[in-house]
A = this chain, B = another copy of it.
Amino acid sequence: MIIVLKKDITQETIDHVVEKIKTAGLAVHISKGKERTIIGAIGDESLLASKALEALPGVESVMPIMKPYKLVSREFQKESSVIDVGGVKIGDTDLQVIAGPCSVESRDSLVECARQVKAAGARILRGGAFKPRTSPYDFQGLGTDGLKLLAEAKKETGLPIISELMDPRDTELMCEYVDIIQIGARNMQNFRLLMEVGKAGKPVLLKRGLSATLKEFLMSAEYIASQGNSQIILCERGIRTFETATRNTLDLSAVPVLKEETHLPIFIDPSHSAGRWNLVAPLAKAAIAVGADGLMIEVHTDPENALCDGAQSLKPTKFARLMDEMKKVATAVGRNL
């Protein structure tokens, strides 16, 4: 950790800062320049984390050197993680596509949708049973019945399933039914929920929060990993900016940055970020070109009558056409789909 002191401070002030660092068990290196005195705190930075160094008199700024995440970092594990979900390998050369409706609505529509996305090449089925809705008056999902329908669709098609967990009290129930637990963007810093899925031992797809920095995103993954579960798929789904032409701004630069920082696979959700179905295809192809390991795409057999997010759902025929286009881009960048 580097501690930059203010100009014109007394030796007493320097000694006070040095003492604080030594008390925490770190070594100290002082560099007195013409303009500024700089203190290097050498050793385990995490021991200093809870000390309010910045609150000390005479301290101008504090810069940590070490990354705050460990288990999920590329430094900790050099080779990329591959996560096996019922035989579907995530994070390998093959790209994977998760597809399905925003929310589970009925047995027939779900199974029909599952069949069609499977035929188009998707390998995992998505569907919301518990829905986080901005309004308490909106459709909140079918709950346990939704999970049961997902299980039926899995039985019919063989596709592993993913669904969102919103409440730590539902963790056990969710684990009975799904192959991947999804943590939504709004719960990215619901630390209690992260700890639960860390203990549950199931693969987790963690969505980036709307205004989460990549560092915070990785810290949330670290929460899960710290409980012993490293089967984590990161999913970028758009961040909140001043732009209003799209629902959110898809941050595709996040993919190469995360690839450097972490060994975890990275997915892109082009449906939620854009909020409009006609933007899904170009963004999906860009996601592959930028190096994502897979995509999560909303498909609905009847978007006009979808109970949620119909505006961003593709019809199965459009999805199948997009899969063909995506395969070409995947080949162009040396991946398979």
Contact = CB atoms under 8 A, between A and B. Distances in A.
Counted per complex, copies of this chain come to: 4
B273 A282 contact: no
A183 to B, nearest CB: 12
A91 interface: no
A277 interface: yes
A56 B304 contact: yes
A contact residues, range:
35 or more
Contacts of A303: 52, 55
Contact of A55 (B255, B260, B290, B310): B310
Contacts of A139: 50
Contacts of A136: 191, 195, 219, 222-223, 226-227
A253 B249 contact: yes
Contact of A52 (B192, B243, B310): B310
Interface string A162-195: 0000111100000000000000001101111001
Contacts of A51: 304-305, 310
Interface string A118-135: 000000000000001111
Interface of A: 2, 4, 7, 20, 29, 31, 33, 35-36, 38, 40, 42, 46, 49-56, 63, 65-66, 68, 75, 132-139, 166-169, 186-187, 189-192, 195, 210-211, 213-216, 219, 222-223, 226-227, 239-246, 249-257, 260, 273-274, 276-279, 282-283, 285-291, 303-313, 325, 328-329, 331-333
Given A31-B40, A54-B311, 16 more contacts: A35-B65, A49-B135, A52-B303, A52-B306, A55-B313, A134-B216, A166-B190, A168-B169, A242-B242, A250-B253, A256-B278, A256-B279, A260-B278, A282-B291, A286-B289, A289-B329
